[in-house]
Structure 1
Amino acid sequence: ILYLCVIRGCLAWLWVALDAKLLDGNCARVSSRRWLNLQEYQSKKLMQESGVTVQRFYVADNSPDALQAAKRLNAKEIVLKAQILAGGRGKGVFNSGLKGGVHLTKDPSVVGELASKMLGYSLTTKQTPKEGVKVKTVMVAEALDITRETYFAILMDRACNGPVMVGSPQGGMDIEEVADKSPELIFKEVIDIFEGVRDDQALRMAANLGFKGPLERQAADQIKRLYDLFLKVDATQVEVNPLGETPEGQVVCFDAKINFDDNAEFRQKAVFAMDDMSESDPTETEAAKWDLKYIGLDGNIACFVNGAGLAMATCDIIDLHGGKPANFLDLGGGVKEKQVYEAFKLLTADPKVEAILVNIFGGIVNCAIIANGITKACRELELKVPLVVRLEGTNVQEAKRILSESGLPIVAANDLDDAAKKAVAAITRK
């Protein structure tokens, strides 16, 4: 069971979604969670800078500026969109009473009033917390008619050792649903990382998406520009849904989601500087500063573990013994004493935490470093909840000596199962 838990944990931590129906054959679509999330207008700005065709738009953080932006667009129809990092905005509700985070109007004069009911208010959608997310900016854009919607994406795929193009003439909807019901409408092209997107590939994809005549060449050009953007910003995915066709004969990227490779942050400083952390969980944001992988849960037993799979297994075994984990916390491999201390600060700051379970299986992690960090944290933070520690691996005997001679009320555990039992028992006794 433990090995299965570890395997499941490794997969869970990678946040992998294997949509085999979307990229069947030798490739599998892989989408992993990334820390960097951009607002819609930020993604469109990046696309503009790479020559990708998007709607004309402005961004405003107050209603007078939104009104002026609407007038400046001089468009037949205007779309006003609340900017938050969540889907389902169109069906969302504001605590101001306004329904819908996306509004269409042909009258520029009402944009200011609509914006006044969005800005500074919380928007609740199916993807936000119950209390919603406060809207700080709105995007005022030209609304274009769409004759036809298609789906297009470029994403990294391990099985193909590089990027893959995925497209469908059925856009503007859940692409997984299309793949499930009409797999013959999903097309893919494996991109040679050295050659890039060839003209014949771009034209073939454009034709498969249903673009005809001059629009086929125009769509192929947009596809190549999107790949240039993909490389330029070190993306792991650029998804356009829909890639649409207008009555005026223009191919436009109407909506886009861009995922980035966090390992490229050192050379993508301008992109990562755009990250709006205000919508992120404060504890997760603080943990990221110390290179700790933290996700808050609803339980009362804090987990302090090295390794994603082991962390998930720890959560599972706590639950198996009748307890509830308060968090997922992965220290990683190159942990230092300071990180151990900061991790304890995060855990003890959570008022739900009634016990802490430390589960370290030291390979490249030195157990003595963990032990020193634990004792320092316990003393300086005046730990008031039960602490159960299971250590195994590199320098474990020295680590156990440090803990035993510390004089601190630390409960030692022989293995993971024993640690989980003792942590749950500590809660029960309280």
Structure 2
Amino acid sequence: MDIHEHQAKEILAGFGVPVPRGGVAYSPEQAAYRARELGGRLWVVKAQIHSGGRGEAGGVKLCRSEDEVRSYAASLLGRALVTKQTGAAGKGVYRLWVEEGSDIARELYLGFVLDRKSERIMIVASAHGGMEIEDLAERDPASLVRMVVDPAVGLAEFQARELAFALGLSGGQVGQMVNVLRACYRAYRDLDAMMVEINPLVVTGAGDLVALDAKMSFDTNALFRRPQVAALRDPSQEDPREAMAADNGLAYVGLEGDIGCIINGAGLAMATMDMIKLAGGEPANFLDIGGGASPERVCQAFRTVLSDGNVSVILVNIFAGINRCDWIAKGVVQAYREVGLTLPVVVRLAGTNVEAGREILRGSGLPIVAADTLAEAAEAAVAARPTSAAA
């Protein structure tokens, strides 16, 4: 789960990371008030969306008067901001962050991510901040400094000092960097984060370190024990289909095809999507219904898949272990009756209570296409698409 810049800054500030003063605004008038409240003669107004590249897309502006703050806020609020990370549809701007201007002498990059290869938290840093990490890696890969943190020990002070020296810091800045690094590490560890990024981490004209921008994302599977983090979720920044699925406890990722998928198990879901493409089709989604799915949960999965107007066929592929094929079959029949299904449905069942499940489908009298293997199911789904979709 991603959160907004201002939320990430508030969290990191609570762990001891220095951030500029600022305030959230939901209207042009409130943005101007925030500038007046902060004082000074220079403010930065930033669109709050879940995407990088806001500056290049016109989502960040340096303003020198309250009228300029108000005017820029009016031009930004309510529109979709398109960045290189959002896709053509962009992300809606419904809140702004207005902060005091900073005297920037240097810009650094700092990120904490999970390195799956080493099964450790990895710190990635660069003496050249202010650009996306992908651009940094492409333009100047030698500038990237990597350091792995052993979770049994935590981030040692000597490691933090080594990183500070590698970034060209000296004097009191080294001690400041040690504090920033250890604060970010604690935030990452204590809140089940997946990523903490400060870009740029600036050195001011006075020699102080300040987090000018911040991003955090969190392990969705751990949100049940982090209610304070879960409360920061902003559904307006999510794909409506994925938001609907998340609200119902389903693992769903929207794609661009027209064959809707209802599957149990992430590995089987990936294999099913591969088979659909091999048969000449395009999956509309990744949906893992999970183990122990009740008929009601199956019915909700159908509603989620059907929320995508591009879907022309639904493929149900279940290998039941914890699940039961009769539950799945009852859910398919229930979905037909409650949702009013008119689209073709292909069902492949295997595993626990498979014969009982197949009998339920046969006895329903519904036009369900049954398949014995995954390959047959994928081919049947592709063949069942309307002519216009197939073309």
TM-score by length of 1: 0.84
Q: CA deviation at 1:183?
A: 4.5
Determine which of 50, 58, 72 is the counterpart of 2:37: 72
Q: Which of 62, 71, 79 lines up with 1:121 in the alignment?
A: 79
CA 1:410–1:158 in 2, change beyond 3 Å: closer, same or farther?
Answer: same
CA deviations on 1:131-185 (whole Å, 9 max, x unpaired) are 4433211111112132122222222334434323222223222334444565443
Which of 246, 252, 272 is residue 288 of structure 1 equivalent to?
Answer: 246
Q: Equivalent residue for 2:6?
A: 41
2 CA distance for matches of 1:380 and 1:105? Answer: 54
What is the CA–CA distance in structure 1 between the aligned matches of 2:386 and 2:67, rounded to whole Å? 62
2:27 is matched with which residue?
62
User: What is the one-letter code of the residue matched to 2:7?
Assistant: Q
CA distance in 2, matches of 1:104, 1:132: 22
CA apart distance, 1:375: 1.6
Identity of aligned residues (%): 44
- Give the Å deviation of 1:276: 0.7
1: CA distance, partners of 2:314 / 2:323: 20
How far apart are 1:57 and its partner, in Å?
0.9
1:152 matched to 2:152: no
**For structure 1, which segment, 181-190 or 241-250, has the greater mean C-alpha deviation from structure 2 after superposition?**
181-190
Question: How big is each residue's C-alpha offset from its partner over 1:181-234, in whole Å with a ceiling of 9 and x where there is no partner?
Answer: 654433333323243222211111111111111111111121112222222322
Matched letter for residue 296 of structure 1:
G
Contact 2:251 2:287 in 1 (8 A): yes
Q: Secondary structure at the match of 1:91?
A: coil
Q: Which residue of 2 aligns with 1:245?
A: 203
Q: Does residue 281 of structure 2 align to residue 316 of structure 1?
A: no
The amino acid of 1:288's aligned partner reads A
Which letter maps to 2:340? E
- Cα distance between partner residues in 1 of 2:369 and 2:109: 56
Change (3 A) 1:324 1:201: closer
Say whether the 8 Å CA contact 2:16–2:179 is kept in structure 1: no
Q: Please show how residues 162-181 of structure 1 align to structure 2 within 5 Å.
A: 162-179=120-137
| Structure 1 residue 226 corresponds to structure 2 residue 191 | no
**Which whole-Å CA distance do the structure 2 matches of 1:133 and 1:187 have between them?**
32
Between Structure 1 and Structure 2, how many residues are aligned? 388
Task: Tell me which residue corresponds to 1:84.
Answer: 49
Distance 1:256 1:131, change over 3 A: same
Q: What is the DSSP-based 3-state SS (H/G/I as helix, E as strand, rest coil) of the residue aligned with 2:202?
A: strand
RMSD: 2.1
Distance 1:182 1:197 in 2: 26
Q: 1:372 to 1:281 in 2, by over 3 A?
A: same
**Change beyond 3 A, Cα 1:196–1:366:** same
Asked if structure 2 preserves the Cα contact closer than 8 Å seen for 1:348 and 1:383, the reply is no
Structure 1 residue runs without a partner (length 5+):
1-35, 93-99
Contact in 1 for aligned 2:53/2:132 (Cα 8 Å):
no
Whether 1:413 aligns to 2:379 is no
Shift of 1:242: 1.7
1:213 to 130, 146, 171: 171
CA deviation after TM superposition for structure 1 residue 352, in Å: 2.9
Cα distance in 1 for partners of 2:387, 2:34 equals 62
- Relative to 1, partners in 2 of residues 1:131 and 1:301: Cα closer, same or farther, differing over 3 Å? closer
- Report the AA paired with residue 290 of structure 1: N
Q: 2:241, 2:308 within 8 Å by CA — same for their partners in 1?
A: no
Aligned match of 1:11:
none
How big is each residue's C-alpha offset from its partner over 1:291-311, in whole Å with a ceiling of 9 and x where there is no partner? 212223333322221122322
Equivalent-residue separation in structure 2 for 1:411 and 1:370 (angstroms): 15
Q: TM-score, normalised by structure 2?
A: 0.92
- Describe the shift of the 1:299–1:185 C-alpha distance in structure 2 as closer, same or farther (beyond 3 A): closer
Q: How big is the shift at 1:368?
A: 1.7
Q: Secondary structure at the match of 2:8?
A: helix
